[in-house]
Amino acid sequence: MAANARGRFHAPADLHLHSDHSDGTEPPAQVMASAHAHGIRTAALTDHDTTSGWAEAAEAAASLDMTFLPGMELSARHEWRSVHVLGYLFDPDDEAVRALTTRIRESRLTRAREMAARLSRHHDLTWEDIVGQTAVGATVGRPHIADALVAKGIVRNREDAFATVLHPGSEYYVALYAPDPVTAVATIAEAGGVPIIAHPAGRAGLLPSRLLSRMLDAGLAGFELGHRENVQPALGTLQALARTRDLIITGSSDYHGAGKPNLPGEHTTSEDMVARIIARASGTAPVFP
């Protein structure tokens, strides 16, 4: 057990979990129960571009005697590539956070409708099929379109859908609005939160070092280095940078329920790093058992 001035928390910690408020398949309370069943004792809910699952997850975590860190995975883009910024313990009522996430979610809706329209020209798929795969109020994304395609027997699973009709190179793909990564980081930081780049060493390779410097200047706290999508040599470069700059490093599963093979606890974050995240934040308090 570790403690700081504000409360106590237990290892192991998994700080990247999705519910059906975005593209996970389980409601927030079930996500906390799944994490607990995999031995997790400190958990963050990090749905894409929404904080709507926080209250349910916090209540479930408390009943399981877990520590809960409210979080979010904010969509950003640099040139052609998507960049995901995890934000922890920011103020969910901050005006800039609300404006930005509302704009992204609205764009996601328009974009999903446009993708549905394009897909319907060649496939037996309607917008209603996608709505049927999306929880009410959830942040809609390509995974919901994938689920509709699976339900219609057009593809086998989400992975198959992402490799074919949902791929950015596909004629059916439409981009969503997303802020640049510096804006994403600054928005979280200015709302009292702790911004960490999610899976920063994925197959797309490293972000340019100039951009990383600007993100650090804007308040970037660290990198999610423990994640199944991170690969060398980018991972080694970021490990070295984190050491030199004394940045926060996290490890997490990116659990999506049945939507991905990732399982809670497959990567975890050290007590020391959880304590640093909590100490750095001023937007929202964690929920301690």
Q: Which residues bind ligand AMP (CB under 6 A)?
A: 23, 48, 141-143, 158-159, 162, 256, 259-260
Taking CB under 5 A as the binding criterion, the range among 54-62, 78-86, 99-107, 152-160 that sits at the site for Fe ion is 78-86
Q: Which does 21 bind (CB under 5 to 8 A by kind): ligand AMP, Fe ion, Zn ion, none?
A: none
What residues have CB less than 8 Å from 168, skipping those under 6 apart? 80, 175
Q: Write out the two tokens for 19.
A: 């519910």
Q: Is 84 in the site for Fe ion (CB under 5 A)?
A: yes
Q: Which is nearer to Fe ion, 41 or 84 (CB)?
A: 84
List strand residue ranges (DSSP E) for 227-283, in order: 248-251
Q: Round the CA-based radius of gyration of the chain to a whole number and report it.
A: 18
From candidates 115, 198, 218, 220, binder to Fe ion by CB under 5 A: 198
Instruction: Give me the least distance between CB of 159 and ligand AMP, in Å please.
Output: 4
Q: How far is CA 269 from CA 4, 33, 213, in A?
A: 16, 19, 24
> Using CA atoms, how far apart are residues 40 and 167, in angstroms rounded to an integer?
33
Q: Does 147 bind Zn ion (CB under 5 A)?
A: no
Question: Residue 267, interface with Fe ion (CB under 5 A)?
Answer: no
CA distances from 191 to 27, 74, 101, 168 (A): 26, 13, 13, 32
Residue with the two structure tokens 């399981």:
64
Of residues 60-119, those binding Zn ion (CB under 5 A): 73
Residue 47 binds Fe ion, judged by CB under 5 A? no
Q: CB–CB of 197/223 below 8 Å?
A: yes
Question: Taking CB within 5 to 8 Å according to partner kind, which of ligand AMP, Fe ion, Zn ion, none is near residue 260?
Answer: ligand AMP
Total number of residues that touch Zn ion (CB under 5 A): 2
Binding segment toward Fe ion, per CB under 5 A, in 77-85, 172-180, 200-208, 215-223: 77-85
CA angle (68, 261, 236) in 5-degree steps: 80
For residues 121 and 98, give the distance between their C-alpha atoms in angstroms, rounded to a whole number.
35
23 binds Fe ion (CB under 5 A): yes
List contacts with Zn ion (CB under 5 A).
73, 254
